[in-house]
Amino acid sequence: MKFAVIVFPGSNCDIDMYHAVKDELGEEAEYVMSDATSLEEYDAVLLPGGFSFGDYLRTGAIARFSPIMNEVVKAAEIGKPILGVCNGFQVLLEAGLLPGAMRRNESLKFICRPVELQVKNNETMFSSAYKKDEVIHIPIAHGEGNYYCDEQTLATLKANNQIVFTYYSTNPNGSIENIAGIVNARGNILGMMPHPERAVDPLLGSADGLKLFKSMVKQWRESYAVNT
């Protein structure tokens, strides 16, 4: 499986993503710059954390107009898995690929620490390696991770089982319904604030994030086997 790691000016978790896929997962990965105009050769797309374009205007607001985002939309439309983490999640929201918006943390402070997540939906291409309601340990690092959506959108997310991860013991940022990660209705786009790529080896304090990437590979191999 070949992953594209998108690099915006200001990305700072692209190397973590690359390491998680290449060294821990043992799959192919390449950096793709934000001005690139094709993703055809890749099987999955990763939008990393950081401060794309300095987070000017709003987090992800400028990055969503990068040339590569046209290709991300095309990849999403044909069903390729798209994972946006932290700033990558914010970019997906700004691009309209996921519903809702991101606000400042309730504390108005940047938060960087491990948190507990609960797996609410383990039937997605990103979470099938987990058990339902499994509690996992993944770090966060953000100042604007307070996910918000209106009541109608929240009802839709619940009805379609689109809430994949929630904060378990404490809500660090004020996110509505403790939401930490959601998928689109089709199930091929996941946005989450916690950083699974920073939890892929016990030496990092947790290897719980590796299961997310393993889930993506498992789904791809199963799909590839069916289509060949």
Q: What is the pLDDT of residues 218-227, one digit of tens each?
A: 998 887 666 6
Question: In this predicted model, what pLDDT tens digit does every residue of 179-218 receive, in sequence order?
Answer: 999 999 999 999 999 999 999 999 999 999 999 999 999 9
Annotation says 137 is catalytic: no
Q: Which residue in the list 71, 86, 94, 144 is annotated as catalytic?
A: 86
Report strand pairing: 82-85 vs 111-119.
unpaired
Q: What is the pLDDT of residue 164?
A: 98
Query: Got the DSSP string for 67-88?
Result: HHHHHHHHHHHTT--EEEETHH
CA distance 64 to 68: 9
Q: Which residue in the list 27, 94, 144, 197 is annotated as catalytic?
A: 197
Domains for the chain: give ranges and CATH numbers. 2-227 (3.40.50.880)
Give the predicted TM-score (pTM) of the model. 0.96
Q: What string of H, E and C letters represents the secondary structure of 187-199?
A: CCEEEECCCHHHC
Query: Got the DSSP string for 114-168?
Result: EEEEEES---STTTTTSPTT-EEEEEEEESS-EEE--HHHHHHHHHTT-EEEEE-
Annotation says 195 is catalytic: yes
Annotation says 112 is catalytic: no
**Which 8-state DSSP code applies to residue 20?**
I
Residues in the chain: 228
Question: In this predicted model, what pLDDT tens digit does every residue of 4-47 receive, in sequence order?
Answer: 999 999 999 999 999 999 999 999 999 999 999 999 999 999 99
Report strand pairing: 2-7 vs 28-33.
parallel
Q: What is the pLDDT of residue 228?
A: 46
Q: In the chain, what percentage of residues exceed pLDDT 90?
A: 95
Query: Is 172 within 8 Å of 115 (Cβ atoms)?
Result: yes
Kindly report the average pLDDT of the chain as a whole number: 96
CA angle in degrees (0–180, nearest 5) for 181-116-133:
70
